[in-house]
Amino acid sequence: MISVNLVLFILVCFSILLIIGAGYLIFTQGRKNADKSDVRMLTDILSQIHDRNMEENDLLKSNLNIHTGQNNHVFNERKNAILAYFSSLNTWMWDGLNISVQDYNHVNFEELSKRVTNIKEYYNQANISFAVMQLTIDSEQLVKLGYEAMMDTLKLHHFVENTMKNYKKTLSWEKTLLDKITSKDYDFFKLSPDMKSFYERQARENEEEKRKVLEGYNDRHWELFKQAIADRNLFRDVAKEELAELENEVYNKHIEKTDDITNILSGGISKAKSIKDLSARHEYAYNRDTENKF
């Protein structure tokens, strides 16, 4: 017959084992809950970092676009100022001052007035575009070359304008004389000897004046025109170099800014990857422990 002590001993041992088992279950369940909490926390942190990185990426990309746009605006503004001046200078020289006064006579001499007006307008436009270029570009050398081209072209301008005005005056008198002589109401052959002599003298003087106006015009015009073209070509060559350097500078700034932003983005991605790896390791450890328990 089993004694009471033996039964009590068995009950005590069973109770102890029960307590130990319950404690173990409580411990493992707590660890399981802790592991779950760690995984959730790391997941939340990773999600927050991802969202923040996306916002920072958008901000950095926007900053890059603004920076690139500003640099391109400066480059285009300077380029357009140089092109506008160069264009107005060429218009002034070729459309306005490249003229042969010999092509005009008492029939079409009135057109000379229009030519004088045109070259003044071309000169004004060149002055305006030069002033804009002065305010826009930083190159003192280019401004100096532009000014020299303006001054030498202005010398040509004065020569052509004075020649056209003087030539128009002689042609105008010639036209008046011819109209009078050829008029139906005017008989030159019936004039007195003194009047005939007067008109003949006026005709000779006018012809001499016209000869003086035209004499040496082509040589002097070519001399001044050649110098203006040389100044223009020098300005053109230096302007091309300046624009190439400016374009290269803008490109280098863009690359530098892009590299800076790339480095920042890479740093953010690296941090996020580290946290993601840590989260993955915790989740793996948790899953492995769970499988071992079963």
For the segment 133-139, the average pLDDT, to the nearest whole number, is 92
From the list 66, 126, 72, 70, the residue with the least C-alpha distance to 95 is: 126
Mean pLDDT of 66-87: 82
* CA angle in degrees (0–180, nearest 5) for 268-47-38: 110
Greater pLDDT, 247 or 151: 151
Instruction: Tell me how far apart the alpha carbons of residues 291 and 280 are, in angstroms, rounded to a whole number.
Output: 16
pLDDT the model gives residue 86: 97
pLDDT top residue among 37 and 268? 37
Q: Stretch 267-282: mean pLDDT, rounded?
A: 55
Which residue has better confidence, 145 or 286?
A: 145
Residues 6 or more apart from 242 whose CB is under 8 A from it? 82, 137, 139, 142
Quick one: pLDDT at residue 9?
58
In DSSP notation, 240-294 reads HHHHHHHHHHHHHHHHHHHHHHHHHHHHHHHHHHHHHHHHHHHHHHHHHHHHHH-
pLDDT of residue 294: 44
At 234, the pLDDT band (50, 70, 90 cuts) reads very high
Question: What pLDDT score does 257 carry?
Answer: 65
Q: What is the structure's pLDDT at 240? A: 93
- Tell me what the mean pLDDT of segment 131-144 comes to: 94
- Which residue has better confidence, 231 or 281? 231
pLDDT at 42: 59
Mean pLDDT of the chain: 78
Average confidence (pLDDT) over 144-169: 95
Model confidence pLDDT, tens digit, residues 168-225: 988 888 888 777 777 766 666 666 777 777 777 887 888 888 888 888 899 999 999 9
What is residue 211's predicted lDDT score, i.e. its pLDDT?
86
